[in-house]
Amino acid sequence: MNYIIYDLEFNQKNNDHIENENNQFSSIPFEIIQIGAIKLNENFETLSTFDALIKPTIYKTIHPIVENITKITDEQVSSCKDFINVYKDFLNFIGDDEIVLCVWGIVDIKELIRNAKFYNLSTSVIYKYIDIQAYASKYLKTEKKLKIGLKNAIELLNISIEGDFHNAFYDAYYTAEIFKIIHDHNMKPIVYTSSPDRKSTKPKEKIDIISLIKQFEKMYNREMSNEEKSIIKLAYIMGKTGQFIH
């Protein structure tokens, strides 16, 4: 069995982005623009690595906040493969052996599945996972209900910094190094299951607030305070009124 430790970077809708009349992109708030991964065997030896930027095809312009945090630019991704082709490369990288995915927080497993399903791609091998962030938070005795940030975890575990944070490959590398230190036999993989869609007589566009807040937490490497969560929710509600559209 192999462990696939991976991380993602996302693009998102820009305020001046105009969706089509059918609003077909509302089901995918975060578009993957980088996949980084490390493959380890059962002895935690590195077998291979994966690092790919992705040309966005939904939100085609990199959001300024995303560019500032990830350092990924429109120019960098303009000549890259699209998600469909990079995802196929990623599945080839995973291979045919039994695997367990390892992620820093559930957002990356959720969004990888959501992006794949958007393009009607197979997700049969990407459901079983271990949330390394959850185990690291317990290992490092983080305050109850709080999740430790990646940067704080590697500092507390005295792991050397090899590259920039918010780079999918280096974040996967750091997650792998943490996994090697804290791993024990109580860490059991679980199967990701998405919440069933609720039928409604009046279909509504509804943003996934939990994923939105978790994305902010991923970008800033810390948990948002209750006040910050309230501001994010309020900003979304105010934006929906259309009063700030020019």
Return the CATH number at 167.
3.30.420.10
Give the pLDDT of residue 245: 46
Q: How many CB atoms lie within 10 A of CB 150?
A: 24
Contacts of 10 (CB under 8 A, 6+ apart): 30, 31, 32, 33, 66, 111, 215
Q: Is 244 part of a structural domain of the chain?
A: no
Q: Decide if 18 is inside a domain.
A: yes
pLDDT in tens, the chain (246 residues): 999 999 999 999 876 544 444 455 567 899 999 999 999 999 999 999 999 999 999 999 999 999 999 999 999 999 999 999 999 999 999 999 999 999 999 999 999 999 999 999 999 888 899 999 999 999 999 987 789 999 999 999 999 999 999 999 999 999 999 999 999 988 999 998 876 544 444 455 566 777 788 788 887 888 888 778 878 876 776 565 444 444
* Domain membership flag for residue 47: yes
Contact indicator for 148, 137 with CB cutoff of 8 Å: yes
Split into its structural domains, the chain has a count of 1
Burial of 103: CB neighbours in 10 Å, binned 0-12, 13-18, 19+: buried
Nearest partner of 8 among 115, 98, 84, 95, judged by Cα: 115
Q: Taking a C-beta distance cutoff of 8 angstroms, is the pair 126, 109 a contact? A: yes
Phi, psi (rounded to 5 degrees) for 51? -150, 115
Whether residue 147 lies inside any domain: the answer is yes
Residues 6+ apart with CB under 8 A from 86: 35, 52, 54, 80
Query: Which residues does residue 6 pair with via DSSP β-bridges, in sequence order?
Result: 37
How far is it, in rounded angstroms, from Cα 129 to Cα 119? 22
Residue 234 lies in a domain: no
What's residue 108's pLDDT?
96
Let me know if residue 233 belongs to a domain: no
How far apart are the C-alpha atoms of 113 and 99, rounded to whole Å? 16
Range of the domain at 67: 2-193
Residue 87 domain-assigned? yes
In a domain, 211, yes or no: no
